[in-house]
Structure 1
Amino acid sequence: MNPSSRVDRDGDGAGNVWMSHPSLSSMSPIRLSSDTEMSFGERSVAAAGAAVLSAVLVNPLDVAKTRLQAQAAGVPYYPYEPYVRRHIVSLGSNTIFSDIRCSTSCTRGGIFGTEMVCPPDCFQYKGTLDVFHKIIRQEGFTRLWRGTNAALALAIPTVGIYLPCYDLFRNWTEDFTTKNAPNLTPYAPLVSGSVARSLACIACSPIELARTRMQAFKEFKSEGKPPGVWKTLLGVLSPLRNTSNLQNIQNFRVLWTGVGAQLARDVPFSAICWSTLEPIRRKLLGIVGEEATAASVLGANFSAGFVAGSIAAAVTCPLDVVKTRRQIEKDPSRALNMTTRQVLVDVWRERGMRGLFTGAGPRVARAGPSVGIVVSFYEVVKHVLHQRHSSP
């Protein structure tokens, strides 16, 4: 009997031909598309564009997630010395107030002497929507995009490394396993996603550290702009300036604070995400048929990315809590000596299961759309480039 074939779209804008035969127990992918012919530069440009779009749209959710996790770790969000004078006063029926008004529109404040004062809980976050409300009221609407410049500086190189490397590793792994170990082919996305994410995390860890700190710490100074990426990183290094040159070189590793926790979070995130995303999007694109359009590529990849990103974000939330705690630690010696296991145990003892999933809501709400946007934008650009290359 002659082999039969069918075309299955894998989301890269062109088909993979799967050859099947009754005597074969599995089907092996044979690429006939220009996906393997795309240059690393073209892949990087497509990925960088996706990263910019995603970073801008979902940054407020990232701020909310980081603030909730930092608050649980003990970061104060009420004014404190040396920026403002702080007194504890009793007004009315033994209600405790601090000497600062959270906003001019607050109706819960009172007057002490010549100053307007608000209850301490005006500065405590109770959930994602409460973070949005209080940041807008106390700091201004634009602070929801605090750290966007760091997110962009991080997203472009991270995704520019991550997605192209994933594509190349996946293609190579699938080709290798198809020829030598067909039963292992379904695990190609898992392995490729883990390796690609590890490379991206290690390369961009200092920028991730700056972003976490910029989003976690509240600025109480009314004058001037809050520190940007460069000043934030200089602030991380400032306690080490008085050490010897040799120690300074060694202590530059503080810029990679939390990279272990970040890898512990992102490697399983990528493994779960890609191993979930690939079968979903291939099935969706298989329904579309041989002539996939940009719209169908967009819809299938966004849907698959949304589901996969949400699942991966929920599962890896405890490791995200650990990463945040390690990166907001201001004592350099303590930051360098903290371990992921130690922080996990500390969080469990302090707050139990609820503590391990602090910020899970905004993290999942951020990751689903973010993965969907990045993957769908990236694949649509690849689809357009493929059509352009294929046209006479």
Structure 2
Amino acid sequence: MVWSRHSIPSWLSAAATRVDFEANPSKMLKDGNDGCSLEQHQHRSKPPLSDANLGFGGRVLSAAGAAVLSAILVNPLDVAKTRLQAQAAGVPYQGLCYPACSEANTILPNLQSSASSVRSNLGLEPVCRPECSQYKGTVDVFYKVIRQEGFLRLWRGTNASLALAVPTVGIYLPCYDIFRNLMEDFTTQNAPNLTPYVPLVAGSVARSLACLTCYPIELARTRMQAFIETQIGVKPPGVFKTLLGVVDPAKSTNFLQNLQSYRILWTGLGAQLARDVPFSAICWSTLEPIRRRFLDMVGDKASLPIIFGANFSAGFAAGTLAAAFTCPLDVARTRRQIEKDPSRAVKMTTRSTLVEIWRDGGMKGLFTGIGPRVGRAGPSVGIVVSFYEVVKYALHHHTHLNQ
């Protein structure tokens, strides 16, 4: 049996149908072999309600629900990735030992030779063996965070993730849909050969817009996940206090200088864009062909489970690939965001940061945290895209039934 692209559900593949029909309508009529008239095929090629005519509010609602679900599920992997990258950048994770470690060091005081250990044995500061303050991998981060800080610390920064995810994804996915539809309409009529590159450009532009809008919250999340509160019983600072801590060191008595100092909240924006724009370009240019191929296999039999499965599988594959390729840029972004010296933070560039990472750790340093990053990105993209498309599908059918 021969499948034609117009057999894909139109609400997910209107662009592909328009390209085929407008490029060669007679061939499409012949290949379809279904006896439809030219007017019927023109009707099929029009963007359907759920994809093209769904309002911006409906798209934002779909994206926000996907963002909340993804942020909660994958936050522990985000914490592990950030801790490993911050450790490689020189952030010390000391001062928190679980009870068994402290007891072992107290029983064997003769093994402690440093001045710090002597003070610890006298009760002036806690004892902690070197391996207790070093993370060896993703699983080790989970284990030590739970033992030293508590299980809920794996969700450190979730409030920032939620505050970031809803507006970011609420801007990102709807804008991607809108830009993609507009660009596909333009390229179909004027430059059909450029149509395959539309997802790459639309994803890059939409992601850049989202990053510029919500970057300070992204900065706060990274710092909340990277730094730990060493004072027992003290609640770690939230998003607002974290951002105040970023701005305060740069403040002066001059009002105009204080206004200019707030630009430090966008420190590392270049690195963020350098990571997210290629990520989006790789992700969408990989996701769209895979998703359409899956849907092409089922034809008109698409249902909610099939739509969810096709989008999750395509998103998982695309997110994994994009995360692996952009890991060095993610390491550079983290290093720039956790820099505490305001004067140095302003002078750092993405290129100089990558050179510094290469000098300190070589290839291994550039791919620090790749395990949790890939483990986070694949499911996250799969969840966001599949949930987004399923909600769009449900809203489309709800609107269609009420008409």
Same fold (TM over 0.5): yes
CA distance in 2, matches of 1:99, 1:22: 84
Asked if 1 retains the 8 angstrom alpha-carbon contact of 2:308 and 2:389, the reply is yes
Quote how far apart the aligned CAs of 1:248 are. 1.2
Q: What is the identity, as a one-letter code, of the residue corresponding to 1:78?
A: Q
Picking from 150, 169, 173, the partner of 1:159 is: 169
Distance 1:389 1:97, change over 3 A: farther
1:120-269 mapped onto 2 (5 Å cutoff):
120-269=130-279
- For normalisation by structure 1, the TM-score amounts to 0.89
Q: How many Å separate the matches in 2 of 1:11 and 1:72?
A: 46
Cα offset, 1:337, TM superposition: 1.0
| Alignment-mate amino acid for residue 399 of structure 2 | H
Cα deviation, 1:288-312, whole Å, max 9, x if unaligned, reads: 2113211111000000000000000
Q: Are residue 6 (structure 1) and residue 6 (structure 2) matched?
A: yes
Q: Secondary structure at the residue paired with 2:301?
A: coil
Secondary structure at 1:290 match in 2: helix
Structure 1 residue 271: Cα displacement: 0.1
Aligned amino acid, residue 70 of structure 1: A
The structural deviation recorded for 1:22 is 6.9
**Unmatched runs of 5 consecutive residues or more in structure 1:** 81-87, 101-110
What is the rounded CA distance, in whole Å, between the counterparts of 1:169 and 1:229 in structure 2? 32
User: What's the CA shift for 1:6?
Assistant: 2.5
Query: Counterpart of 1:85?
Result: none
Q: 2 CA distance for matches of 1:74 and 1:61?
A: 20
State the TM-score, normalizing by the size of structure 2: 0.86
Structure 2 match to 1:78: 94
From 372, 393, 397, the counterpart of 1:383: 393
Match of 1:47 among 48, 63, 68: 63
The answer to whether structure 1 residue 33 and structure 2 residue 42 are counterparts is no
Q: For the Cα contact (< 8 Å) 2:64–2:169, is it kept in 1? A: yes
Give the Cα–Cα distance (whole angstroms) in 2 for the partners of residues 157 and 51 of structure 1. 9
Structure 2 equivalent of residue 106 of structure 1: none
User: Per-residue CA shift, 1:197-256, capped at 9, x if unaligned?
Assistant: 000001010000000000000110112310000000000011123241111111111000
Count of paired positions: 370
Give the deviation of 1:95 after TM superposition: 6.6
Measure, in 2, the Cα distance between the counterparts of 1:31 and 1:339: 46
Pairwise CA RMSD of aligned residues? 2.6
Residues 1:341 and 1:351: Cα distance change in structure 2 (over 3 Å) = same
Comparing both structures, which one devotes a greater share of its residues to helix?
Answer: 2
C-alpha distance in 2 between matches for 1:348 and 1:317: 13
In 2, Cα distance between equivalents of 1:338 and 1:9:
49
Change (3 A) 1:6 1:291: same
The 3-state SS of whatever aligns with 1:279 is helix
Specify the code of the residue in structure 1 equivalent to 2:159: N
Q: Residues 95 and 126 of structure 2 are in contact (CA less than 8 Å); yes or no, is this contact kept in structure 1?
A: no
- The answer (yes or no) to whether the contact 1:50–1:373 under 8 Å persists in 2 is yes
CA shift in 2, pair 1:58/1:99, >3 Å: farther
Q: What secondary structure, in the 3-state scheme, does the structure 2 residue paired with 1:144 have?
A: helix
